[in-house]
Structures are given as structure tokens and as C-alpha cells.
Amino acid sequence: MAISVFDLFTIGIGPSSSHTVGPMRAAHRFAEGLAESGLLERTAAVRVELYGSLALTGKGHGSDRAVVLGLLGETPEGVDIDAAPAMVDRVRTQHRLALEGGHAVAFDPETHLEFRRKETLPGHPNGMRFVAEDSAGNELRAHIYYSVGGGFVVDEKAVGADRITADDTPQPYPFASAAELLEICRETGMSISSVMLANERAFGRSAAEIREGLLEIWRAMRACVRRGVSTEGTLPGGLKVTRRAPRLYRQLGGHCEAEGLSGPDHSDPGDPMRGTDWITLYALAVNEENAAGGRVVTAPTNGAAGIIPAVLHYYVHFTQGAGDEGAIRFLLAAGAIGILYKHNASISGAEVGCQGEVGSASSMAAAGLAEAWGATPAQIENSAEIAMEHNLGLTCDPIGGLVQVPCIERNALASIKAISAARIALRGDGSHFVSLDKVIQTMRDTGRDMMDKYKETSRGGLAVNVIEC
């Protein structure tokens, strides 16, 4: 299907796009379906079953809370993150739930929400089944959904549709591979961001609307960093992980200003690696906010949400003459690369491991930075390839099912890797031995070969070798 950059970059909540955002959207969609089919008033109870990775790490990822909020009519984009805990607690206490904010039904999360940890639905590791029952316990409607990564949700009839390379939206420059994208750039003389801008207009948005939408995404990223560096405390969950971004910000000399937060001071020549500390800060700030269930930009997933903001902050603060136009080109080019991963492989940790989340985000960020720096399309493709090539095989093994360890630090390291990839590519002429298409294919194949216990189940790797306190 034709994917917009605004599908890849969405403003939502943490801690997981697949396990929080996706289930919330699925629950909301199911409740909407009951209303549209005229079954809402006849519904007396709702039951939900989570399968596979959703069941194994759902508690740590907040899947249960997300389902409740979605059934209540909330969306990841619109939910009040401060009011959400009380809304969920009320349902747990009253054992009643107002579907779509209106029709009350029986719903006790302890009995009406099941974690089927030993079962997996056939379409994807992140499967869920919703059932509406009447007052006699008869099934009125049942529906299966799959959360396929990045907050994307498909039903059982559309499994695999997230990788179809065309739909009914005609685009002036359709591409299904990096080779096709580069050929379009060669034939037209257009940059990758210009190709993406033209394709985005096919969705009915003007160029001005697209630019403003991308700047809104960029503002949300900056707001997330500001919250992350100014919020002290311990992250929720049994690990008792302390937020590190506020302390690091103070160590770097950062301080609050009237219109936000200060940026890096470039006047200190004593530490040539000081810039990497700022990159680390930006990534930690975002991912600590994500782990706390805060407002983040899915980019392209929540588990990897700190990478693109960190690299974009680096571009703005460490590039002379950087500004909004460069940020727009950055996000458009990053989106083009993200589309290739979404079409031809996966951005779901439950399907291909963390290489599909952190690896894809690192690759996208490298491409975006190269575009903002004025690289050629070939150099941009090389940047994306380098970043992913050195994230191949990355497992997803969150301790305690929480998006904290090793996820938060992993975003920081992948951000630095993205910047290095862009710098390496810009030192060359764009020619290289391994193509981005081959790396994406390899990532997909590696994910298929990877043992399931290393794909967001918390049954392997660090998740079992480090005891949760």
C-alpha cells in the first residue's frame, strides 16, 4: 500500500508502538465497529485475548492499559496521558467500561482480558482477538487484529497488506526499492526529499500543509526532549531504573530558558567528544519519556523513538546554517527509507528482532542527516545501508518486558552510529559494494532465521540472564 511519511511519524504515547499504540488502535477500531454495525446497544460484555509477543511482554509494555483506553474511545494521538491512569483504574475498580465513552458493558481486566502466552495467531506474533457478547453470553461479534509494527494495525483479512507496494492512491513517483528510488532521482534530477514531497501531495495535502505537518512532528520531538531533560525520578516497573537525562543535561551545562532549554556550548575545545554526550542526552531524554508512557513521536517505532530526534537535534545544533527547511528534508528522506523497510522487511521487533526497530531507525536517521547535509541520492542510499549493515542480527530482549534495558541506551548508541554512517558516506562518491536493497533483504531473512525467544518475548538474552529486582 502507499505509505505516507505521516504514517511512519505519528504523535502518540509510550512505551511501545506495537504493544501499546497498536492495541489501543485495535480496541478503538473494534468499539467503533460495534457502533457502526448497530451492535453497540446489544453488547453486554467485551472479552479480549492477547497472543504471542503481546501476551508475553504485554504487561511490561502496557498492552492491558492500552486495550482499556482504546475500548473507552481513546486514541494514541488524543489521549490525555495525565488522566489515563485514573481512567484505567476506574475500570479496574468498577468492572465496568463505557464503550466509545458511552455504552456501559461488563469488563473486568482480571477476567475479561486474557494473556495467551503459549499461543500465537497465524498472521503475526502480535495478535489479538476481541469478542462482544450479549446479556446471555452469546457472541455478537468477534474480530482478530494484528499489530504489525510502528503502530500499524491490520485485521485477519489484510495480513501482509502492510507490505503491498501499491494501493488505490496513485503517486507520481512510486518506488518499491532503493534501486527504483535512485533511478527516479537520476531520471528527474530530483533529490530524495523532493520525490517524497511530490508523492506526499498525492494524499491530498498541499506542499505548505506537508511542511507544516512535518514541523509539527519536529516540534513534538523537541517537546519530548524538553520533558525528558527536566523530569526527574524513577521509571515505572520493577527494574527501578533512574532517569539519567536530567543529570546529564546539568553536567553538560544545560539550563532552562524562557522559551525552552539551552543547547550545546561549542566554545569548549577541551573535549572533542563532547558532542557525542549531547547526542546521547537527546536519545536518553526521549526514550526515558517513552518508557514512562509519555508523549512521543513513533519514528518509526516507539522502542526506537529516540534515534531520529537525537540525530535531528544534532543536525540543528552542530550544523552551521541548519534550520526548518533542512529538518523538513531530513524527515522526508528518512521517511523514504522507512517506507522501504516497511514494504520489504519489517519494523516489528516481534517479527524480526530489534534490527527492525533500532536498525531501521538508525538507517532512516543516517539517510535524513545525509539529505539535510546536501548529499547526493547515492550517498544517502549509502548512508542508510551502512547504518543497517551494522545493526544486522540485533535481538529484542527487554528485561522484564519493559522498554528500558537495553532499549534506552541502545537508542543512544544507534544515534551515534547513524551520524557516523552519514559521515562515512559523504566522504565517498556514493558507490559501494553492498546495496541498501540487499541489506534490507538480509535483515528480513535474518529475522526469519532468528529464534523466536530473541524477538520481543523476554524469554532469551538479557531478559533471562539478568534477574529483575
Q: Is residue 163 part of a domain?
A: no
List phi, psi (to 5°) of 208: -65, -40
Q: Are residues 55 and 184 in the same domain?
A: no
In a domain, 164, yes or no: no
pLDDT, residue 317, reads 95
Q: Which domain holds residue 187?
A: 178-454
Q: Please tell me whether residues 18 and 90 are part of one structural domain.
A: yes
Instruction: Select from 111, 129, 158 the last residue of a domain.
Output: 158
Please, what is the angle between helix 274-291 and helix 307-318, to 10°? 140
459 belongs to a structural domain = no
Main-chain dihedrals φ then ψ at residue 52, nearest 5 degrees: 60, -130
- Is the pLDDT assigned to residue 411 strictly greater than 70? yes
The answer to whether residue 468 is domain-embedded is no
Whether residues 128 and 204 share a domain: the answer is: no
User: Is the residue at 464 inside a domain?
Assistant: no
Same domain for 150 and 288: no
> Does 416 fall in a domain?
yes
Q: What is the model's pLDDT at position 156? A: 81
Write down the mean pLDDT value for the chain: 94
Domain assignment of residue 50, yes or no: yes
What mean pLDDT comes out for the span 119-142? 96
pLDDT, residue 40, reads 96
Lowest mean pLDDT among 15-19, 264-268, 298-302, 369-373: 264-268
Q: Are residues 441 and 342 in the same domain?
A: yes
152 and 277 in one domain?
no
The residue from 158, 187, 216 where one domain ends is 158
463 located within any domain: no
**pLDDT on residue 263:** 78
Same domain, 133 and 231: no
User: With 60 as the cut, is the pLDDT of residue 258 above it?
Assistant: no
Looking at the structure, do residues 208 and 255 belong to the same domain, yes or no? yes
Secondary structure element (H or E) that encloses residue 106, with its range = strand 103-106
- Rounded to 10 degrees, the C-alpha dihedral 115/121/123/126 comes to 10
**Is the domain of 238 the same as that of 380?**
yes
Does 226 lie in the same domain as 134?
no
Amino acid letter, 270: G
Query: Using one digit for the tens of pLDDT, what is the confidence trace for 106-118?
Result: 999 999 999 999 9
pLDDT computed for residue 165 by the predictor: 38
Predicted confidence band of residue 273 (pLDDT cuts 50, 70, 90): confident
Residue 188 has pLDDT above 60, yes or no: yes
pLDDT value at 416 more than 50:
yes
Residue 254: pLDDT over 70: yes
Residues 182 and 154 in one domain: no
pLDDT of residue 166: 39
HEC profile for 52-76?
HHHHHHHHHHCHHHHHHHHHCCCCC
Domain CATH code at residue 145: 3.30.1330.90
Boundary (domain end) residue, out of 98, 126, 158: 158
- What's the total number of domains in the chain? 2
419 and 312, same structural domain? Answer: yes
